[in-house]
């Protein structure tokens, strides 16, 4: 069954392993570079440290190491692991599906591409399962958000299909995971024309996702936990 197969090891029969690995490294570099430029351009770090200094000046008491540890644990548990800032349960569930699905998807991609890159490697079934499960979670959570949460904007006088720059992240994320699943399926059943089509769409959409950090909401996932802790 295709969900237990490493799609990248099958791809290595067509494309050089070095090309696949170089592409993943390039996406990582684009994320790091885009995040740094985003922080500098929007002065997020400067605002964060200025806000921290104001908080210190206005503090009525100093927090002990135990207090800070308690706040850190609470922030991780509520704001990071369970997305407690979302009061709407539907919005929270959609966000959690997308967040954990994306983590599974990226982590398993890195493991399969760099540890089991060729068809001769025996990929543990855990990693292909995580990759396909993660992609499916993102598609389900993203579709839930897009069709049942985001579209409920009539009260604000907006059309349901209105697109803004902030939508770049969710749309490219949905496109990457959906086309990835379709590419994996058609590659598994050896339907080469469809596999080639969805592979091309997978590459383009992932390039937009990871290369468009500066113009999307991608970077907020990195400094949002720090802001919540502060």
pLDDT tens-place string over residues 113-140: 999 998 877 899 999 999 999 999 999 9
pLDDT of 94 reads: 82
pTM above 0.85, yes or no: no
CB 223 within 8 A of CB 49: no
Local confidence band at 188 (pLDDT 50, 70, 90 cut-offs): very high
Phi, psi dihedrals of residue 187, rounded to the nearest 5°: -65, -40
Give residue 184's pLDDT: 96
Assess contact for 125 and 118: CB atoms under 8 A: no
11-15, 88-92, 145-149, 151-155: the lowest-pLDDT one: 151-155
Q: What is the DSSP string of 9-68?
A: HHHTTTS-HHHHHHHHHHHHHHHHHHHHHHHHHHTHHHHHHHHHHHHHHH-SSPPPHHHH
Q: What is the pLDDT of residue 186?
A: 96
Q: How far apart are CA 201 and CA 134, in angstroms?
A: 18
User: What are the residues whose beta carbons fall under 8 Å from the beta carbon of 208, sequence distance 6 or more?
Assistant: 168, 172, 175
| Cα distances (angstroms) measured from residue 153 to each of 19, 20, 145, 150 | 43, 41, 12, 7
- Identify the sign of the CA torsion 89, 91, 94, 96: negative
Residue predicted with more confidence, 15 or 84:
15
């Amino acid at each position: 069954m295709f969900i237990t197969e490493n799609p990248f090891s099958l791809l290595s029969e067509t494309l050089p392993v070095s090309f696949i690995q170089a592409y993943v490294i390039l996406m990582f570099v684009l994320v790091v570079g885009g995040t740094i430029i985003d922080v500098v351009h929007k002065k997020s770090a400067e605002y964060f440290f200025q806000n921290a200094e104001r908080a210190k000046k206005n503090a009525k008491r100093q927090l002990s190491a135990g207090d800070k540890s308690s706040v850190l644990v609470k922030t991780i548990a509520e704001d990071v692991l369970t997305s407690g800032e979302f009061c709407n349960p539907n919005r929270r569930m959609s966000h959690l599906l997308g967040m954990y699905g994306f983590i599974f998807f990226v982590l398993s991609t890195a493991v399969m591409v760099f540890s089991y890159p060729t068809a001769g490697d025996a990929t543990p079934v855990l990693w292909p399962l995580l990759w396909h499960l993660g992609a499916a979670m993102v598609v389900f959570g993203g579709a839930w958000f897009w069709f049942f949460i985001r579209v409920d904007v009539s009260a604000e006088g907006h059309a349901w299909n209105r697109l803004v720059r902030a939508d770049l992240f969710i749309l490219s994320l949905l496109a990457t995971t959906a086309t990835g699943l379709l590419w994996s399926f058609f590659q598994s059943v050896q339907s080469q024309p469809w596999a080639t089509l969805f592979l091309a769409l997978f590459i383009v959409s992932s390039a937009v996702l990871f290369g468009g950090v500066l113009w999307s909401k991608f970077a907020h996932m990195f400094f949002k936990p720090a802001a919540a802790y502060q």
